[in-house]
Structure 1
Amino acid sequence: MILPGRVRERAEELAGDLPAYVYDLAALDAHAADVRRALADVEVYYAVKANPDPALLRTLAPHVDGFEVSSGGEAAHVREVLPGARLAFGGPGKTDAELAVPVHRLHVESPGELRRLIAAGRPADVLLRVNLDVPVDGASLAMGGGATPFGMDPGGIAECLASLRGQGHVRPRGFHAHLASGLHAPELLRLAGAVVEFAREHGTHGEHRGHGAREVNVGGGMAVPYRRPDERFDWDAYGKGLAALRAPGETLRVEPGRALTAYCGWYLTRVLDVKRVHGEVFAVVTGGTHHLRTPAAKGHDQPFAVLPTGNGRGADDEPVTVVGQLCTPKDVFARRVVTTVRPGDVVAFGMAGAYAWTISHHDFLMHPRPGFHYLT
């Protein structure tokens, strides 16, 4: 993997103070601006679950229309960092207290959740989350397309629409769907088309006319190929496809997370030992998957670059498995990657800007936490 010059310089400066995260805010700003241009009039809400780091939120704020949160804690966090930000609140297990959080849009996950919301008597603007029975082949994660805990089938949607009649404080604004993750632009556009068609049919026609489907949130799920770190999601094609899909007067909204922030983050470690066991070479580095859980969670090799700052006996242009300090065979960053590495070298793991630090089991074995550094 190619290490940008600015990140390399910071890595060399931090060589004696690792592990650490480095976030390239200038690169994030440029990438978010490109995405904003490509999506034009499509609204963009950043999925905070991908990375809630305050510096990243502030960098993204000028380029997005709002932020999607999935807990009361995330909502409070974004409110503290960006007091005036628009919030959309999603997630399948909202408590009564979370249903009371004032947000721009609340994504209703079930008829039961809607009944609790109506009974509370508080005003709310809602999108009904639909789980359509459509193919999601090739997805890395499927939240829809069949029986999952996320959203409602058409029967659940019909039940919600019936509950909404005769009351005025819970205001239906349209539909939401996040059916799958890890898909490229053509596949996501196909799903978006199915969701928009459903929303138009159920929100503006027949017995449910007037319930409103002028807003359709088609979710996130843009592919981030860790095996090809130089490849990017085709935002231009996606934006053009959504523009063709949107009818006059409709609001289309997307919720990217990983595809916005993954590329700006680097997790830096230092090689402690290079050892050979039963013919296999292992490089043991500071830190581990308790800091960067992504490769263990997704079952992939985290892309990395080696800065040759060490010396001594190591491995020369041969397959190496890079592991952390944890007492578990699952503490693996990358398996049998051909590289050259020696004790004392710095290893920079790329694509560590999303679903990395905040999803990791920080307190396992009680190692020190990493530092956090920002390039502006």
Structure 2
Amino acid sequence: MVQLPALETSPGLEGKKILSLRNSSKEAIIELIQSIITSNPKVDEPFFVMDLGVIVELFKNWNHSLKNVRPYYAVKCNPDPAFLGTMAALGAGFDCASRGEIEAVLALGVTADSIIYANPCKPESHIKLAAEVGVNLTTFDSIHELPKIKKHHPKCSLLLRLKAPDDSGARRRLGTKYGALPEEVEPLLRAANEAELTVIGVSFHVGSGATNSDTYRTAIASARAVFDVADKVGGARMHMLDIGGGFSAGTQFEETTNVIKIAIETYFSDIPELEVIAEPGRVFAETASTLATNIVGKRVRGKVREYWINDGIHGSFSCIKNDTATVTMMPLACYSSSNNVRCVGKVKYSSTIFGPTCDSMDTIRKEEMLPELEVGDWLVSPNMGAYTKSMGSDFNGFLTSGICVYLGCSGGY
């Protein structure tokens, strides 16, 4: 268990105020959000509350369920320095896809051997940077990647990225862009051998936000077939399996991890030296952050209420179009109904929620049933930690990159 003082002194967290949360419940988060708003009446910009205690609990659950699989956190999911610092303090490795992500992780004091450069198609300048700083593990799925690696980082260990046989049920299916096909495996391994590059294992990704746990079983079986081809082709003996990401918190996590453990035992029990890693993102990030947005405009048209808030589809709510997320919006009437902040028992109206930009497509929700709210009130959205702020833009001058993140900690850490 990582105690709170250790987190407070971790890179990315040092010097930052960590607010106390009585627990990780929705009610406790809303209480904290309300206290932030009421203690500073001038607050009218959107902000996140990140519960570090949730991250710690999720990491403990990972170690319990997949104790022999080291997570290399996918930085793209949520690159907030405090989040990365917490993951580093817990002992995670990091999945980086670019020079910028590598530099951000190294700046936190993470050692280069805790980074996998998990982008199968890389700019040459980024490969050179990886070589310079000692990031010595990367992925590939194309013969055209090998000359670049040979030229700029010939001592780098490689994982052959395999197209998962089935990525059905994923929020975003990645096989259309990445992963070698079965008939490409042997030519790729032979080409790597001819280039005197060392392929130490296989990686795959069943898709972001996977909902079909059996896709991991079929992908692990296919990965074993690649190990067998590698034995036939010659070269270094493979010893690493990267099972990628796609994990989500909740009941499905237990089902998925059970499938993975059985599949690894079934297909890899004869390789005792096997090292298994993963590239999880949303399983750690999604439920740890809650977004508070301020109502900056209102219009009434008949029975419909229309509200404008100060974050939208081009910002943190980009997860709706880019990640097919379903968001929840809870009213917090700090301005208009201080005697009943949660609006309990109030009449609800069909409401439309617009984002702040001048784009007519910046519409977050339609036919949302909400009580009568006024300009200055707030809407609170839980589970907004994954592919939200990281995928938003600064379109129209609304700076998603500048949204404040308040740190809280439940669980007594």
* TM-score (ref. length: structure 1): 0.86
Match of 1:374 in 2: 407
Q: Which whole-Å deviations, capped at 9, do the CAs of 1:98-126 have from their partners, x for residues lacking one?
A: 22313141111311001221233631111
| 1:54-93 equivalent positions in 2, closer than 5 A | 54-84=81-111, 86-93=114-121
Letter of the aligned partner of 1:111 in structure 2? I
Instruction: Assess, with a 3 A threshold, how the Cα gap between structure 1 residues 323 and 3 changes in structure 2: closer, same or farther.
Output: farther
In the TM superposition, what is the alpha-carbon distance from 1:234 to its structure 2 partner? 2.9
- Take 1:304 and 1:291, find their aligned partners in 2: how far apart are those partners? 16
* More displaced 10-residue stretch of structure 1: 23-32 or 215-224: 215-224
Q: Which whole-Å deviations, capped at 9, do the CAs of 1:316-362 have from their partners, x for residues lacking one?
A: 32322222211112222322222224113221111111111121112
| 1:62-141 equivalent positions in 2, closer than 5 A | 62-84=89-111, 86-100=114-128, 101=130, 102-120=134-152, 122-132=154-164, 134-141=165-172
Query: In the alignment, is the contact (CA less than 8 A) between 2:205 and 2:243 conserved in 1?
Result: yes
In the TM superposition, what is the alpha-carbon distance from 1:44 to its structure 2 partner? 1.2
> What is the DSSP-based 3-state SS (H/G/I as helix, E as strand, rest coil) of the residue aligned with 1:142?
coil
Query: In the alignment, is the contact (CA less than 8 A) between 1:39 and 1:239 conserved in 2?
Result: yes
- Take 1:191 and 1:4, find their aligned partners in 2: how far apart are those partners? 41
Letter of the aligned partner of 2:188 in structure 1? C
Letter of the aligned partner of 2:229 in structure 1? H
Letter of the aligned partner of 1:309 in structure 2? C
19, 26, 36: which is aligned to 1:3? 26
Runs of 4+ in 1 over 4 A off after TM superposition: none
Matched, 1:217 2:249: no
Unaligned regions of 5+ residues in structure 2, if any?
1-24, 338-342
Letter of the aligned partner of 2:298 in structure 1? V
Aligned length: 360
Match of 1:256 in 2: 280
> What is the DSSP-based 3-state SS (H/G/I as helix, E as strand, rest coil) of the residue aligned with 1:283?
strand
In the TM superposition, what is the alpha-carbon distance from 1:57 to its structure 2 partner? 1.0
In the TM superposition, what is the alpha-carbon distance from 1:77 to its structure 2 partner? 0.6
Match of 2:291 in 1: 267
Query: In the alignment, is the contact (CA less than 8 A) between 1:89 and 1:106 conserved in 2?
Result: yes
> What is the DSSP-based 3-state SS (H/G/I as helix, E as strand, rest coil) of the residue aligned with 2:356?
coil
179, 184, 191: which is aligned to 1:156? 184
Match of 1:165 in 2: 193
Query: In the alignment, is the contact (CA less than 8 A) between 1:195 and 1:218 conserved in 2?
Result: no
In the TM superposition, what is the alpha-carbon distance from 1:286 to its structure 2 partner? 2.3
Query: In the alignment, is the contact (CA less than 8 A) between 2:166 and 2:215 conserved in 1?
Result: no
- Take 2:157 and 2:280, find their aligned partners in 1: how far apart are those partners? 21
Matched, 1:13 2:32: no
In the TM superposition, what is the alpha-carbon distance from 1:367 to its structure 2 partner? 5.7
* More displaced 10-residue stretch of structure 1: 49-58 or 285-294: 285-294
Match of 1:229 in 2: none
> What is the DSSP-based 3-state SS (H/G/I as helix, E as strand, rest coil) of the residue aligned with 1:81?
coil
Q: Which whole-Å deviations, capped at 9, do the CAs of 1:74-103 have from their partners, x for residues lacking one?
A: 001100013325100122431112223131
* TM-score (ref. length: structure 2): 0.79
- Take 1:254 and 1:221, find their aligned partners in 2: how far apart are those partners? 10
In the TM superposition, what is the alpha-carbon distance from 1:198 to its structure 2 partner? 2.6
Letter of the aligned partner of 2:381 in structure 1? F
Letter of the aligned partner of 1:273 in structure 2? G
* More displaced 10-residue stretch of structure 1: 277-286 or 44-53: 277-286
Query: In the alignment, is the contact (CA less than 8 A) between 1:287 and 1:367 conserved in 2?
Result: no
- Take 1:202 and 1:371, find their aligned partners in 2: how far apart are those partners? 50
Query: In the alignment, is the contact (CA less than 8 A) between 1:273 and 1:284 conserved in 2?
Result: yes
Query: In the alignment, is the contact (CA less than 8 A) between 1:11 and 1:346 conserved in 2?
Result: no
Match of 1:192 in 2: 219
Letter of the aligned partner of 1:23 in structure 2? M
* TM-align CA RMSD: 2.5
Query: In the alignment, is the contact (CA less than 8 A) between 2:78 and 2:285 conserved in 1?
Result: yes
